[in-house]
Structure formats: structure tokens, C-alpha cells
Amino acid sequence: MEVREIIHQLPLQDVEKGDLLAVTMMLGSRHFTREVLWAVLKEDEKMIEGVPWISDWIAEGEARGEAREARQLTLRLLRKRVGDLSPTVIAQVEGANTARCEEIAERLLEAHSLNELNLS
């Protein structure tokens, strides 16, 4: 018997079942791709999307992904512009948020050194 079937058989209101399905999806995301989880839980999509905190969780994951991409792009641009980067500069960029990475990338167009980007 699938987890979703067990959840549906519980004597709970739909809102509570939606919460349990959302938790199942959240925990499953540690081991399975989103596509796999949706394949299993697709029939319950409406119930899961109705859970208020699931939208926050999805948005949080998307923001982390955007920040990771911004850091990777910023490091590539810096390496192209100035060559090898010190571990300190790499750590600064890897700890930067999306806005800081965008700032570095924009200023990189006119900067001639890492000091001009407040990186050292």
C-alpha cells in the first residue's frame, strides 16, 4: 500500500491530509527528484498546493537555486576577467546572496581589479 493511500484512509479532514501529503513530499525531496514525487503524488496535487507553507517551501527552494546559479555565474565571470581566484575571494562569492552577485557582475564590466569590486 502506498503512503498516499494510507494517508487517505486516515480519519482526518482534507486539510490535515493535505498537510501530511505535503510533509511526505518535503521529506521525499531529500531522496527523490521533484518529478518522481509528483508522479507518485500527482492525484493529490490540489490538496498539496492548498497547504499554505508548501508554497513558501517551494519559493525558498527556488530562491536557493537562483542564488546558487548567481554564485556560479559570478565565479565564472570573475575567472574570465581576472584569472585564478584566491580561496578568500571564492569564499566571499560563495557566501554572497543573489543581489550581491548581481552587483559584482554589473561592476565587473568596468572594474579592473578585485579591489574595485570590494573583493580581496
Q: Looking at residue 74, what is its pLDDT?
A: 94
Is residue 48 predicted with pLDDT exceeding 80?
no
pLDDT at 1 (0 to 100): 58
SS3 content of the chain, % helix, strand, coil (to 5): 75, 0, 25
| Residue 15 pLDDT greater than 70, yes or no | yes
- Distance (Å, whole) CA 1 – CA 8: 11
Joined together, the cell numbers standing for residue 97 give 546572496
In this prediction, residues 27-33 reach a mean pLDDT of 80
What is the pTM for the complete model shown? Answer: 0.59
Written as one letter, the residue type at 34 is R
Query: If you average pLDDT over every residue of the chain, what do you get?
Result: 83
The pLDDT tens digits of the residues spanning 67-110 come to: 999 999 999 999 998 899 999 999 999 999 999 999 999 998 88
The domains of the chain are located at 3-50, 65-117
Report helix angle 14-28 to 34-41, nearest 10: 150
Enter the C-alpha cell of residue 1.
Answer: 500500500
Of the two residues 91 and 21, the one the predictor is more confident about is 91
